[in-house]
């Protein structure tokens, strides 16, 4: 994994909190969250979804606690869960107390709908006794009416004021195991809200674009907001709030962190050229087939599918493994070095086979096992293709032509 510090601002230092065994904030890896969509009283159904979320990359899972039956369900779910469980509380503060009694590892309180400071403080005292952190979950749809009227809209300043007021109630009873979110469905507002908040507090921040909607739009909005802040060093835990199977949320969040070099790779990263007139194969089709085949193998590597051998291995030299087409053959390369040449019909099969071996044996071993004639075959194919269709990136030739024209001479 590359050092992410080379590409982004230093991470904002926050005071860490423990959500069960998962550390959030401080120097801990940025964690991924999602939320179940089942009825909490359906213990087995909820646990099945929790396990699916954990397998997809969720470090923490939030479960609604909106009834007494839901709180009772949590009492059975928590000890059987593979990850820490956070109870989502709305309106009824006594359900927060019940959730604490059930053994949850965290609470999420919405400042807009538990209105009485005395109730908030009672929950905080109980959480302090059990050493359970609370997330102050501010969002645009549930701001206190006075705050909303004062600002005229759910502005970044309004979201910030709501968060600081809620924090004050918690701190007044000596409670400091706090995480905070200031979510909005409008991406620029969400980004600015977190920027303002990060300047005011040192508590860990939970990032998300609320009500992002279904994919692909919901994914695009979530990535735009969350990735922008992460690259500024802001954020300690994330959730994609999608109108979709929550497993997609967990997978997307985990992959975003991997793509930003903020978590170790545990899933396939397939890169491919967008195709062009130089392509020797249908890149889109080959990439789709390769992705399906490689994902079924659960290989945590970066794989490149390139349309031609002219530039493919060089452009994708940072990939762990790749293949480029040329003159009816596939040129298999590792870290930019061609190691095998296979018939075009066997490109995907060769990728999968080599991917397995690469994971099992390592890069050095697979480079050492390279076919000694492969590089020469690839270069020969490359040169023949250049003669047929000159390289579009031949900069020196273009420079000479530009100079001739500029000097008014005939070509």
| Residue 360 confidence (pLDDT) | 95
Q: What confidence tier does 281 reach under pLDDT thresholds 50, 70, 90?
A: confident
Confidence label for 324 from pLDDT (cuts 50, 70 and 90): confident
Q: Report helix, strand and coil shares of the chain as percent, to nearest 5.
A: 45, 20, 35
Rounded Cα–Cα distance for residues 258 and 256 (Å): 5
Which DSSP state fits 10? P
Q: What is the spatial distance between Cα 30 and Cα 295, in angstroms, rounded to a whole number?
A: 24
| pLDDT the model gives residue 136 | 97
For position 380, what pLDDT does the model report? 81
Average pLDDT over residues 350-374: 93
Angle at CA 222, nearest 5°, toward 220 and 226?
Answer: 125
pLDDT at 126 over 60: yes
Amino acid 115: pLDDT: 81
Give the DSSP letter string of 106-156: EEEE-TTT---HHHHHHHHHHHHHHT--EEEEEEGGG--HHHHHHHSS--H
pLDDT over threshold 70, residue 66: yes
Question: pLDDT tens-digit profile of 134-163?
Answer: 999 999 888 888 898 999 999 999 999 999
Q: Rounded distance, CA 228 to CA 234, Å?
A: 9
pTM of the model as a whole = 0.88
At 393 the pLDDT is: 55
Average pLDDT over residues 10-20: 95
Cβ atoms 108, 81 nearer than 8 A: no
Work out the burial of residue 121: count CB atoms within 10 Å of its CB; fewer than 13 is exposed, 13-18 middle, 19 or more buried. Answer: middle
Tokens representing 127 are: 């959480």
Q: Which pLDDT score is estimated for 56?
A: 96
Lowest mean pLDDT among 213-227, 229-243, 374-388: 374-388
Q: Strands 269-272, 302-306: parallel, antiparallel or unpaired by DSSP?
A: parallel
Q: Give me the percent of the chain exceeding a pLDDT of 70.
A: 92
Mean pLDDT of the chain: 91
Going along the chain from its start, the domains and CATH numbers come out as 4-259 (3.20.20.20), 269-388 (3.30.413.10)
Least confident of 56-65, 221-230, 304-313, 345-354: 304-313
């Amino acid at each position: 994994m590359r050092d992410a510090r080379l590409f982004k601002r230093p991470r904002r230092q926050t005071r860490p909190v423990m959500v069960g065994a998962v550390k959030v904030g401080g120097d801990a890896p940025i964690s991924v969250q999602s939320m179940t969509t089942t009825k909490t009283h359906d213990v087995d159904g909820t646990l099945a979804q929790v396990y699916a979320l954990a397998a997809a990359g969720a470090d923490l899972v939030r479960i609604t606690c909106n009834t007494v039956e839901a709180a009772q369900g949590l009492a059975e779910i928590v000890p059987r869960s593979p990850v820490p469980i956070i109870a989502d509380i709305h309106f009824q503060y006594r359900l927060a107390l019940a959730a604490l009694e059930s053994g949850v590892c965290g609470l999420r309180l919405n400042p807009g709908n538990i209105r009485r400071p005395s109730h908030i403080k009672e929950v905080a005292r109980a959480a302090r006794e059990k050493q359970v952190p609370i997330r102050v979950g501010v969002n645009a749809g549930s701001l206190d009416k006075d705050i909303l009227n004062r600002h005229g809209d759910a502005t970044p300043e309004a979201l910030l004021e709501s968060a600081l007021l809620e924090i004050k109630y918690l701190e007044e009873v000596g409670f400091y195991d706090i995480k905070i979110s200031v979510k909005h469905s409008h991406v620029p507002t969400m980004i600015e809200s977190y920027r303002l908040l990060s300047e005011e507090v040192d508590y860990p921040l939970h990032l998300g674009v609320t009500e992002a909607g279904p994919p692909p739009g919901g994914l695009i909005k979530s990535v735009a907001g969350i990735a922008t802040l992460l690259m500024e060093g802001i954020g300690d835990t994330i959730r994609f709030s999608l109108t979709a199977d929550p497993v997609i949320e967990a997978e997307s969040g985990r992959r975003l962190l991997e793509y930003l070099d903020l978590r170790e790779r545990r899933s396939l990263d397939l890169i491919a050229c967008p195709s062009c007139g130089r392509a020797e194969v249908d890149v889109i089709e080959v990439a789709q087939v390769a992705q399906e085949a490689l994902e079924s193998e659960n290989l945590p590597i970066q794989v490149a599918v390139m349309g031609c051998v002219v530039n493919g291995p060089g452009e994708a030299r940072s990939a762990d493994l790749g293949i480029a087409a040329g003159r009816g053959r596939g040129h298999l390369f590792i870290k930019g070095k061609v190691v095998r040449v296979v018939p075009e019909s066997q490109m995907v099969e060769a990728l999968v086979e080599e991917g397995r071996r690469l994971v099992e044996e390592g890069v050095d071993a697979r480079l050492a096992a390279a076919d000694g004639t492969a590089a020469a075959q690839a270069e020969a194919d490359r040169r023949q293709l250049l003669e047929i269709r000159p390289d579009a990136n031949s900069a020196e030739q273009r420079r000479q032509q530009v100079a001739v024209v500029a000097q008014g001479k005939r070509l």
